[in-house]
Structure 1
Amino acid sequence: MGVRDWIEGWPVYRQLTGADPLGRGKAAESARSRALAPRTRSADRVVRSVCPYCAVGCGQKVYVRNGKVTQIEGDPDSPISRGRLCPKGSASKQLVTSPGRVTEVLYRRPHGREWERLDLGQAMDMIAERVLRTRRETWQDTDEEGRTLKRTLGFASLGGATLDNEENYLMKKLYTALGAIQIENQARI
């Protein structure tokens, strides 16, 4: 690298001799920053979604390349958030790309010390059997005075804030149909 190359590579020189006298544009760029490109530019497609963290429903743009999420940003077309995301929403890419994300069913037996992997079908069967058995054993058709109850106090539901409104709505419908009355959503609390 010669002296002339060094001087022309100096941002102050470019600022004084170029078309950027305030040094807010090209004059301030380094060779490294000129070579950078946004992660969103290389995406194969953009999928519109809703942030999963709370009940607000902020719009998101999910950038996908080769079937993998590369970036998640606020959706400026969303009438709710108008392109803005809170810190949790901005970090929601970690939900799907974190290497620590659990992607299989883990079960720890009563009094067990170790987690074991279960097949999803087996886990669903275990859950269904336990829900139906608890409902059967704790069902209250009437109270002491003969008033109709048709309910169970044997289980409850606390929907998570990472569930969207539709999922929480379906859970409310399911638990109401099963006769549960203790149904809440974490996003509302």
Structure 2
Amino acid sequence: MGPRRWLSSWSVFRQLTGSDPLGRGEAARSRRSAELAARTAGADRVAKSVCPFCAVGCGQRVYVADDRVLHVEGDPDSPISRGRLCPKGSASTQLVTGPQRAQKVLYRPPYGTEWQELELDRALDMVVDRVLDARDKGWQDVDEHGRRVRRTLGFASLGGATLDNEENYLIKKLFTALGALQIENQARI
């Protein structure tokens, strides 16, 4: 590369000798920057979502291509976050693309030392069986005064702050329908 060509590739030289003395336009552009494209340019669609990390509920735009998450950014239409995300929210792409994400149901039986892989249907059946068993063992039709209560003290629910209002509402309805009394949410504690 000759000295003249080297000098012309230097943005300061282009700024001082060209028509852009403040370096805000053509002088600041390089061949590499002209070839760059936004990582969202290849997206098939944009899905609106809510950040799952805390109870704030910041709006997100999730850029998807070929059923794969490309990029997550703040949603400017969100009245809560107005397009801004914290570092955790900006990194939420890793929730679905990270190598640490569990892809299979793992189960460790009582007194077991190793994890076993289970089919999803079997794991769900085990959860249902245990919930119904705990409900039946702790069920009360009447209290100590003979009043009809129809409740269970066999389990409780503690919701997390990462759930949105709709999810917490459905969990509350489910546990109430099952007869549970102890239904709480971490965001209230």
**Same fold by TM (over 0.5)?**
yes
Q: Counterpart of 2:41 in 1: which secondary structure?
A: coil
Partners of 1:55 and 1:188 within 8 A in 2: no
Gaps of 5+ in 1: none
Among all aligned residue pairs of Structure 1 and Structure 2, give the percentage whose two residues are the same amino acid.
Answer: 69
Greater displacement, 149-158 / 17-26:
17-26
1:4-44 superposed Cα distances (whole Å, 9 cap, x missing partner): 11000112101212343233444334433332211111211
Q: Counterpart of 2:71 in 1: which secondary structure?
A: strand
Tell me the C-alpha RMSD between the 2 structures.
1.7
Query: Letter of the aligned partner of 1:6 in structure 2?
Result: W
The whole-number CA distance in structure 1 between the counterparts of 2:175 and 2:60 is 30
Shift of 1:56: 2.5
Query: Letter of the aligned partner of 2:66 in structure 1?
Result: N
The whole-number CA distance in structure 2 between the counterparts of 1:109 and 1:25 is 65
Matched, 1:4 2:4: yes
Greater displacement, 2-11 / 34-43:
34-43
The whole-number CA distance in structure 2 between the counterparts of 1:19 and 1:152 is 79
Matches within 5 A, 1:119-138: 119-138=119-138
Please report the TM-score for the alignment, with normalisation by the length of structure 2.
0.91
| Match of residue 185 from structure 2 | 185
1:90-129 superposed Cα distances (whole Å, 9 cap, x missing partner): 1111111111101211101111111111111101111111
Gaps of 5+ in 2: none
Aligned residue pairs, count: 189
1:186 to 1:87, Cα distance in 2 relative to 1, 3 A? farther
| Match of residue 49 from structure 1 | 49
| Match of residue 139 from structure 2 | 139
| Match of residue 154 from structure 2 | 154
